[in-house]
Amino acid sequence: MLYTIFLQETAGGIMSMLPFAAMLLVLYFFMIRPQMNRQKKEKAFQTEIKTGSKVVTSSGIHGKITEVNTTDNTVTIETGAGKIKFERSSISMELSKKYLPKAKK
């Protein structure tokens, strides 16, 4: 009899952990994994930056890249006000036909 009580208790313990494990699984697939994919895409974009690309910085400055310095990870952007030096990580998006959303007709 003691053996059956012990088996019932261990099965109940495993079953009580199932909702917690399901919550962690949902959290991973809906929050953590998409964020990791976004970070990978952003890092790949920042390494692909080339001279002549029209970009927008994270602070909202629009300009054209005139120089890419790989030793200190900076880029020089030509804006309407002149040339400004930025960190490569501050480039948020490229303004080209490849990355712009298509206009509705």
- The pLDDT tens digits for 15-58 are 777 888 899 999 999 999 999 999 999 888 888 888 998 999 99
pTM recorded for the entire structure: 0.61
Instruction: Answer yes or no: are the C-beta atoms of 66 and 86 closer than 8 Å.
Output: no
DSSP 8-state class, residue 90: G
Which tokens sit at 103? 């206009």
Nearest of 95, 105, 75, 98 to residue 87 by alpha carbon? 75
State the amino acid at position 23 in one-letter form: M
